[in-house]
Each structure stands twice: as structure tokens, then as C-alpha cells.
A and B are shown apart, each in its own frame.
Chain A
Amino acid sequence: MKENYIDNPAALKIDLMLRGLRIDDPLVRAWACGMDGVDIMLPRNTLVNIPCREEFTKGSPYVLRKKGGGYAITDGRGEVAAELVKRPAFYDRKTSTGVPFSRIATVHGSLTSIAPSSRCDFFNASVECKYCAGNLDVKGADKTIYSVEEVVETVEAVLEEGVGGLIYLSTGFSEGTDGGIVFLKPYLHAIKRKFRCLVAVETLPPRENRWIDETYALGADSVLYNLEIFDKELYEIICPGRAASIGRKRCMDALAYAARIFPNGTVASHLIVGLEPPGSTMQGIDYLTGIGAVPILPIYRPRPGKALRIDPLTTEIILPVYKHLYRAVTEKKISLTWVRDLSMVTTPAEIRALVDDAGTRPSIVESFYKSRLGRKTAWGLSSLRRKLRVKASEGGEEGE
């Protein structure tokens, strides 16, 4: 071990995500690692999803141990308190049609990810993204589509329990110019009509800007069009389907247009760290922040059985990329209140402690938006903004 990250939750989060965690307690391992990683709360409210099943985790220096009534993570040289995040109770319940809620929704910290269909036609055409980020667990030829009623029931269960209050709707690739928003439209419409919650939408970038207008008008409070890889050649090699059907330029144009339509800090794009040289990722960060989009940097973790075999980068190499991310978003004055408290990625707000000596605490505004009143305020402001900005034309109807 070259560096000691145990005392810095932000750096530790990145290191844990890269190296994984060994769990001595067989009971905890059986409980936590039955899922896709284990969600653990580190000091300073730093939430992290740590791999614990994969082969590479066996060599991790980090071990989860019982300590008194709780848990601690140790690297052999030091230790830090760790709190196992309680499994949401709604995971054990089912919809009225008998589908387990856990199959429809997954809580990742402040957001709950819902994919009404896990189908992705890139797989069916054998042009899937080689890394298969798997952040949506998309796959090909899957005809399972959860109904609007099932999704609405799930959202109701999520909101009742008060976990992951930001609903994150996503879909895989399908033919069409809309990127997938037409498929998500009834779900989005139903959720916005029934609940006072913020909804983020992840689709493929639509080929025409009017779909971005419609996405906003339908009630999406945030939108993600994932570029994934900034390097042009690697993009075409690793994401052949995206490159052929949408193209890197269209993705960047769609993000730039969305950033003009959606409020500051609500348009985001994944750039996967580890699939391209760090310098290229930094260029991507500069480009995205330049157009007003928030780069979200998931860390590439090789998955068993996946075709792409790239050794993950080390924390020492990755940390400067994250520091660059924080400096870029602050320099461009991009709001950090939206992309926060995510277990699967390290957010710019969490990096603050690595860059800004005085900034170990979240700002008053960020703290406010984390509160219940803050969430309601965010919903109210978002709805008001939409009411003011959306104009229906020629037989259209005003959004929301």
C-alpha cells in the first residue's frame, strides 16, 4: 500500500470502490454480499457501495470487522468507523401483481433507480458497450416490462419509507429518434401526477432536440445523457452501438442543448474513469463543465464474464482526476445540490475535502436541500420553473 487513505473518507471511498472489501463475519457477508456490493456509510456522511463478491476483492487490504456494537473498516494500519446501510424494508415487499419491489427499484443513497424495462437493443444487435457499465443492469432480448401501475406502486413504497427520494428513471437503447423518452413518458407522467418528488431521467441522447424539450415539459427535473468515454477512438471501439446509432458529436450536442433547457446542475453525463487515459477524462470534464453539464465519474470495475479486460487504474492515478472535477465544476459555477450522496460514484461535493481545506463541510445550501423541507422546496422551485418556462404550442398541453 503506497498511500494511507483511511483517514480521508473521499479518498477512502475511491480506494474501496477500486479494491473492494473483505468481510470476515460470514453472517454479514451472506447478508451484504448477496447484493451488488455493500452500501456502507463512512464518516462525514460519505456513502459508498463497495464490491465484496468479485475475485479482485480477495486481495483488498480493507477488512470489515465488528467493533463493539458497530463495525469498522481497517487496512491493518488504521481503522475507521463504518455503518452498514440498512436494507430498505420495501425490498421485502411486492407489488399488487406479485413482483418484488427490489426487482423494480434499487436505492443508491439519495436516489432510487428504476428501470421499467431492462432491455437494451445494443445487446440484441451485438453492439453493446464493451464495459457494460451495468449501472442499469440492462441486457438484451429481455421482454420484461413493468407496468406503469407497478412502477407507481414501487415509487409509493420508496417515498413512504423515505429512502432515495430522487426517482431515477432509465431505459436502454431502442430504435427511434427520441432516445427512449417516449417509452418512459407514461411512467414519468404518472409519477409526476401522483407524487411530489423529483425525477431524473436517463435515456440515450435523442436525435432531435424537440425530445429534450419534451423531456423537460413532461416533468423531468434532471436528465442524464451518458457520454461514457470522451476519447473519440476509444468511444467507437468500446461503445460501437452508441457510436453507430447516435454518435459522440450528437451526444455532446444533446448535452449542450439540454444544459440550456434544464436548470443549472441538473444535466449530467457519465464519464467512466479507467476506460481511457486520465488526461482524456479530464478533457471530457472540461468539455462537459464548459457546456454546463455535471460530469459524473463512475469507476470502471471489471465484471466477471465481460469481454472487456482493462486493468483498473489505481487510486493514486484517479485522485487527481476527481480533484480536477471539483475544480472544474466550482470554476464553472455548476450547482452541486443535485448530484450528491450517491453510493455508486464519488460526487464533486465529496471531493471538496480533498481540494479545499476549508470545505470539509457541506455548504448551508447543500445542507438545506438534504433536509425534508429542502427537498420540498427543490420540488416546488422545479415545478414553478417548469410552469414558467414551458409553453405548449399547436394543440399541445402545458407540461405538468
Chain B
Amino acid sequence: MSVEIDTRPIWVLLALRALKPLFYIVLAAVFLYLVAMPAPAGLSAAGQRAIAIFIVCLVLWVSNMVPLAITSLFAIVLVPALGVLSKKETYALFGNEAVFFILGAFILAGAIMHSGLSNRIALNIMDRFGRSPRTLLLSIFLLAAFLSFIMSEHAVAAMLFPIVFDISKGLGLKPGKSNYGKLLFFALAWGCVIGGVGTFLGGARVPLAIGILKESTGKSIEFLDYAVAVFPLVIVMLLAGYFLLTRFFPSEVADVSSAHAVLSRRLKGLTKMSYNEYAVGGVLGATIFAWIFFGKAAGLAAIALSAVVCLFALRLVRWKDIEEYVNWGIILMYGGAIILGTALDKSGAAEWIVNLLIGKWADKPWMIFAIFSLLSIFLTEAMSNAAVIAILLPVGIGMAERVSISPALLTYSIAVPAGLAFMFPMSTPANAIAVSSNYITVKDMAKGGFIMCVVAWVSFNLFAAFYWPLIGMGYGK
């Protein structure tokens, strides 16, 4: 047993313990007030309740006073109980594709770890790049970003997670305490997030946004146009991310040579790759191939679950082998977040918030662009990025007509920031997966993520104002 003794005065410890019940009482009072107060003009009763639930869940998620998954379960209870959505609709939302995609990704990751393949890959990566803490960090950061250009960032995070986890274990980093452990998992999460906005393939949000644009205006955005417009932003964000992380979490690991020697010995001690490793690697390779080339048609979740079925059909894993790798807490959390996002959308609460914040006072194209990108980047922290697009884009396209801004440009202003979710684990599965390592706390992520959001928003708007006109993408129609 490893223990720590808190030597602060007893009255301080008692006061801190008393804060928790007080916190719940205040939160409950705020919630009841928000539910009971007269609904503001333009907001339905259901929308008002959805906002109340959203605020309570956001506070609980951020404060981590209860486990993230339990907050989500609370949302699942409150949404139908307060009549925001029907019971049937609420529970059906839990069957969302994203939830099953994450489940499949966890099982795949479990199989890789159980077969020993991730250990082998981790040892090889460390052996090759682990000459210094800096190069190791950079290799993970850039690898995550590059892979997210060509496949879903969620899948990249799921694939790299066991490798980074093994590297952290190999270095003997203490979860929750080691700055270098934090750096490695931030590099994984933020690498995926930044890389994920680089192309259409990084996630489902851009195809969804283009679909809405096309339905509303008949216009579209081409793959190359998008890449040329957004790629410089990716470069800037990668630089900013690396700079910020290394300043925020100064590495306590000055030298990885001792770990390197141990890892080299371990590498030598490895047997030849087993059939299981080859087979699991093959299934993983086929899954990645399918995600890249058939992801849009077949769906990421369907491909992930098919891979899981393959693993079991080929008897590469047994349920009890991978059960411990499935983080049900994250799955519950993500399901709850989707339900909450949908509740905000369908109750009209999200639209009311947009109208309230933007209203009629914003009439300049750059201002509209800035406001929508700001709303998008902050709403995506608490909601599914697809839901952010579903909420903001119809309103935005309507507004574009009114202020003579290109609807395609406005689509960028929402679709790109919707992918830049740096702050919370519920913002995107990449963050959730990184937090599930226990090396990063929600507080760590919120602190660094907020600055990244601000940098991303400012950079994005500067690129829109000064770079995009150079490539023929002005604000005007």
C-alpha cells in the first residue's frame, strides 16, 4: 500500500470535506431556479430545461465532483424526466454510431494490447525515437497529426493509445503526477485534434457540413480547396501546441537513456512475432484501410465492429481478455453527451442561445465569421462536433444571406473550429481516450485547452482575413 498523509490542520480538511455537500446544494438550487424561472421570450419550456441540464452537467464534468460517466447518466435521467425529449428518443440516442465506434475502438485497442503487438510497436518506437524526451514527444505529436489527415482522428487516438500507454509505463511515469506523462497523452490527443481538421478524412463533421451547405445553397467545397485553406492553420496549431505543452508541463524526464537501455533489453528478450500478433496486426491494418477508403460509405462504427467480430471469429481474443480494456465510463459519458447535445438542438435551446448572443447587432461579414467560429469552437467543447454543425450551420447559412457573406465561407467558420476541441474529454473521443489514461486530469485539459482554443480562434480568423483572400476566398459572395 502506498499512502500519503495530508498534514494540513484538521479544520482545513473538515472544511474541504464540507465544501462538497455545499457545492451540491448550491448546484441543485441553481438548477431548480433555472427550471422554475419564467421562460425568456423565444425560448420554449423544454429549451429552458435543456439549458438547465446542460449547465448542471457542464459544471459536474468540469469540476469532476462525480465520475464523468455518472454525470452523463444523470443527463440521461434528467432529459426525459423533464420532458425535453421522450424516453424512447433519449435511450435510442445512446445507440448513436459514435458510441459504437468508440466501443469498437476500445476492443480493438484491447486486442492489440493483449496480443503484445502494442508493446512490440511501443518498444520499437522508443528504440528508434526515444533518444531524447523531446524527440519522443515530437514523434508522437506529429505521428498522431499525420495519421489524422488520412483517417478518423478517433481511430488514430484509439490506435496510438495503447502504444503511448506502454511507453509511459516503460518510462515508469506516475499517472496524474508525471509532467512527461501528461505531455505524451496531450501530444496524442492534440495531435489527433489538430490533424483531424486538416482534411475531410479527419472526421465526419466536414462531410456533414458540406452536405448541409449543398442542401441549402447547392454549393460545395472541394477536397483540395479545403486542404489548401486549412493546412497552414494546422501547421500553426502544431507549433503552438508544442510550444504551449512544453511550457505548461516542463518535462521532469531529462534523460530517457536509462529507460532506453531497459527497453533495448526487453526488445532483445521478445520472441518472434506470434501468429496472434500478425493476425491482430492484419485485422488492424485492414480496419485502417477500410476506415480510409470505405469509412464514408460503410460507416466508421460498422467497420470497427466488423473488425471486432473478426477478432473473435478468428479466436484471437476472448471476451475476458479484452473486458478490462473497455472503458465503459467513457462510453457512458459520450452517450450522455450526445443525448445532451441533441436535447439542446431539438428543444431549440441551442438556436435560442445563438440568436441571443448574435441577434441583429452583428452585421459585418468578418464579425459574423468571428462570432460563428467563436461559438463553434466553444460549443464543441461541450457537445459532439456533429451536433455543433447541426445547430449552428442552418442558422449561419440563413444569416449569411442577410449580411452578404459567402455561405461556403461561413461553413468553414463553423466546420473547422467544430473540430478544434481541446478543452474537455467529452469534446472529442481523442481527448476522452487520453484522459482515460489517468495521466491527464480534466482540469489539466481545460487549462491548456482553453489557451489552445483562443490561439486557434485568433489564428483561424487571421488566416480568413489575410490568407484566404490570396487564394481567392474572400468574405464576399
Contact with A along B138-181 (1 / 0, CB 8 A): 00000000000000000000000000000000000011000000
B5 touches A213 (CB 8 A): yes
**Residue among B3, B14, B17 with max Cβ neighbours from chain A (10 Å):** B3
Q: In this assembly, does A299 line the interface, its C-beta being within 8 Å of a C-beta of chain B?
A: no
B interface residue count range (under 10 / 10 to 19 / 20 to 34 / 35 or more): 10 to 19
Residues of A within 8 A of B5 (CB): 213, 216-217, 261, 389-391
- Nearest-CB residue, chain B, relative to A398: B3
Residues of A within 8 A of B3 (CB): 210, 213-214, 216-217, 390-393, 396, 399
Q: How far is the CA of A394 from the CA of B169 in the complex (A)?
A: 13
The 8 Å CB contact of B1, one of A217, A260, A388, is A217
Q: In this assembly, does B13 line the interface, its C-beta being within 8 Å of a C-beta of chain A?
A: yes
B8 → A minimal CB distance (Å):
8
Q: In this assembly, does A385 line the interface, its C-beta being within 8 Å of a C-beta of chain B?
A: yes
Q: How far is the CA of A214 from the CA of B4 in the complex (A)?
A: 8
- Nearest-CB residue, chain A, relative to B1: A396
Q: In this assembly, does B2 line the interface, its C-beta being within 8 Å of a C-beta of chain A?
A: yes
Q: In this assembly, does B7 line the interface, its C-beta being within 8 Å of a C-beta of chain A?
A: yes
Interface size, chain A (Cβ < 8 Å): 19
A392 touches B2 (CB 8 A): yes
- Nearest-CB residue, chain B, relative to A185: B1
Q: How far is the CA of A390 from the CA of B7 in the complex (A)?
A: 9
Residues of B within 8 A of A393 (CB): 2-4
B1 touches A389 (CB 8 A): no
Q: How far is the CA of A395 from the CA of B13 in the complex (A)?
A: 23
**Residue among A214, A216, A388, A391 with max Cβ neighbours from chain B (10 Å):** A388
- Nearest-CB residue, chain A, relative to B13: A388
Residues of A within 8 A of B1 (CB): 214, 217, 392, 396-397, 399
Q: In this assembly, does B10 line the interface, its C-beta being within 8 Å of a C-beta of chain A?
A: yes
The 8 Å CB contact of A394, one of B6, B7, B14, B174, is B174
Q: How far is the CA of A214 from the CA of B5 in the complex (A)?
A: 9
A389 touches B13 (CB 8 A): yes
User: Among residues 352 to 400 in chain A, which have CB atoms less than 8 Å away from a CB atom of chain B?
Assistant: 385, 388-397, 399
Q: How far is the CA of A57 from the CA of B70 in the complex (A)?
A: 73
Q: How far is the CA of A393 from the CA of B1 in the complex (A)?
A: 8
- Nearest-CB residue, chain B, relative to A261: B5
B4 → A minimal CB distance (Å):
5
**Residue among A213, A261, A385, A393 with max Cβ neighbours from chain B (10 Å):** A393
B10 touches A394 (CB 8 A): no
The 8 Å CB contact of A213, one of B4, B10, B175, is B4
Q: How far is the CA of A396 from the CA of B4 in the complex (A)?
A: 10
Q: How far is the CA of A399 from the CA of B5 in the complex (A)?
A: 10
A residues with a Cβ closer than 8 A to B are: 210, 213-214, 216-217, 260-261, 385, 388-397, 399
Given A260-B7, A388-B14, A396-B3, list of 8 further CB < 8 A pairs?
A216-B5, A217-B3, A388-B6, A390-B3, A390-B5, A391-B3, A392-B3, A397-B1
16 contacts between A and B (CB under 8 A): A210-B3, A213-B5, A216-B5, A217-B5, A388-B6, A388-B13, A388-B14, A389-B13, A390-B3, A390-B4, A391-B5, A392-B4, A393-B2, A396-B2, A399-B1, A399-B3
Q: Which 3 A-B pairs have the closest CB atoms?
A: A217-B3, A388-B13, A396-B1
